[in-house]
Amino acid sequence: MYLFKSEKQLTPFIQKEKTAGKKIGFVPTMGALHRGHISLIEKAKAECAIVVCSIFVNPTQFNNTKDLEKYPRPIEHDMEMLLKADCTVLYLPSTDEIYPEGQPELKNYDLGYYDKVLEAAFRPGHFQGVANVVYRLLKKVNPAVLFLGQKDYQQIQIIRKMMELENLPTKIEVCEIVREASGLAMSSRNVRLSEEAWNHAAMISQTLFFLKEYRNQFSSIKALREEGIKRLKTIPDSIVEYVEVCDGETLRPTEIIIEGKPAVALVAIWVDGVRLIDNLILND
Ligand code: PAF
């Protein structure tokens, strides 16, 4: 695996491989890699001759400095995982490389409704940070395909919108959520859960799968959501931020689930001081 810490090293490599007709796949991450990330690398490997993974803990997407400070950075372990997964390149830029001269001139993207609801409502500025960093990374890596995990459902819509606004030709591939045996969606934040909280957090996916299985037995989407909230509130030391059922494309709240038109249930919840998100398509 090549380790490139600067664009100066990365660019000639990418150019050479492109000239040789190789397809470049890109998996952007903030590190603290787990099997969910590795599933993205594997999917990229199956489709692309060259797989670039970036690790960059992006300061502009943290609306809470404590969260940024506490973000895990086990770089040695990450590198071992990427080596094992046979990733071609690890791109490990410094903050200066991504945001030269100390402070980022952030673009203010018009991300429309996607930047008003759900995560955006609870994490102001978060998605502008995501859109800006992914744009900067895409300009450096210049991949044919960008691999993103369904776990960050709203982030996918945001990145799609930014790419449309920037007219970027890269294709997006969405990869399924990887879950622990308990159903808990894999996340870099899970390492911050105590063993007890980790066990309790299994209730999040259990709730989502319950909503999916019994959705037709509720009189309305409102009743379905209320059932979700009721179940999640049984988790000790938890604060439910939202349970929403939305149109899978527009993310507007849906009043009725129509077969053939994806409806997604999305959850954000604090468990034992750790903020977790999860989602599930209810009608696939
Ligand atoms: O999903 C993430 O890990 C981050 O939001 C991303 C896409 C790498 C941008 O920093």
CATH number at residue 153: 3.40.50.620
Last residue of a domain, one of 129, 145, 175: 175
Task: Name the 3-class secondary structure at 167.
Answer: coil
Asked if 201 and 159 sit in the same domain, the reply is no
Check residue 64 and give its pLDDT. Answer: 87
Ligand 1 atom closest to the Cα of residue 57 is 10
Check residue 104 and give its pLDDT. Answer: 64
Q: What is the DSSP letter of 273?
A: T
Check residue 70 and give its pLDDT. Answer: 87
Mean per-residue pLDDT pooled into runs of 10, the chain (284 residues): 98 98 98 98 98 97 90 96 98 95 84 98 97 97 98 98 98 98 97 96 98 97 98 98 98 94 98 97 95
55 lines ligand 1 (CB under 6 A): no
Asked if 62 and 141 sit in the same domain, the reply is yes
**Into how many domains does the chain fold?**
2
120 lines ligand 1 (CB under 6 A): no
Cβ-proximal residues to 202 (8 Å cutoff; 6+ apart), any chain? 180, 182, 183, 184
Atom 9 in ligand 1: which residue has the minimum CA distance? 130
For 233, the domain range is 188-281
Check residue 63 and give its pLDDT. Answer: 86
Cα separation, 208 vs 89, in Å, equals 36
Asked if 53 and 119 sit in the same domain, the reply is yes
HSE-CB for 20 with a 13 A CA cutoff: 10
Rounded alpha-carbon distances, angstroms, from residue 248 to 109, 111, 258: 21, 16, 11
CB atoms within 10 A of CB 101: 7
Check residue 259 and give its pLDDT. Answer: 87
Asked if 53 and 193 sit in the same domain, the reply is no
Tell me if 181 is assigned to some domain.
no
Tell me if 47 is assigned to some domain.
yes
Ligand 1 atom closest to the Cα of residue 134 is 9
Tell me if 21 is assigned to some domain.
yes
In the chain, DSSP assigns E strands to 2-4, 24-29, 50-55, 89-91, 145-149, 171-175, 238-247, 263-271, 274-281
Cα separation, 202 vs 195, in Å, equals 12
Cα separation, 91 vs 8, in Å, equals 11
Distance from residue 220's CA to the centre of ligand 1 (Å): 35
Q: pLDDT averaged over the chain?
A: 97
Tell me if 180 is assigned to some domain.
no
Last residue of a domain, one of 145, 175, 205: 175
Which positions are catalytic?
Answer: 37
* CATH number of the structural domain spanning residue 250: 3.30.1300.10
Asked if 90 and 158 sit in the same domain, the reply is yes
Distance from residue 195's CA to the centre of ligand 1 (Å): 26
